[in-house]
Amino acid sequence: MQKYSRVFYLLGFLSMPLFILLLVFGYVKINEMASEEIHWGHNKSFAFGQASREGKLILLSITKSRCEMLQGLECGEGKPDLGAYVLLNYTPRDQEFQTLILDDRFVSLKTDPIPQYFLLNSSGEIRHMSAQLPSVEEMQKLPKKE
């Protein structure tokens, strides 16, 4: 019996680093998968909180239909650098859109056609606005941090 217990101790001792490496690899892989998928948010307070924590700018999009993922030209399909921003999306049917119309900073929402895009810092100051998502060249020139 003692002869087998030494083998089991040795086997357990040698398998522990392998198990730790497996856990680390799994953790890294899960984080990579989570960061690859970019989603549009719809909660203003969450977006501003995330932007202030991470030091990112908020890309606010006002579109006709709700954006969930990067599907369709209005929602940023084919834009490689959207992960550098906190994405916030509203439609005219959203309650938050009605409060935006009353805000003096967003006067263009009353007159200009939808879609419209605004780049905001975490305090709500508009840094950039346009009627279409910026092109790849414009996105390289736009600031990514506050």
**52-106 confidence digits (pLDDT tens):** 888 888 888 888 888 777 677 777 776 667 777 888 888 888 888 888 888 778 8
The per-residue pLDDT for 139 is 63
**33-57 confidence digits (pLDDT tens):** 655 566 777 778 888 888 888 888 8
Tokens for 63, please give them. 């579109």
Confidence grade of residue 127 (pLDDT, cut at 50, 70, 90): confident
Query: Is the pLDDT at 110 greater than 70, yes or no?
Result: yes
Q: Which long-range contacts (CB under 8 A, 24 or more apart) does 41-48 make?
A: 41/86, 41/87, 41/88, 41/89, 42/66, 42/88, 42/89, 42/90, 42/94, 42/96, 44/88, 44/96, 47/86, 47/87, 47/88, 48/122, 48/124
Closest to 38 in 3D by CA, of 65, 92, 75, 90? 75
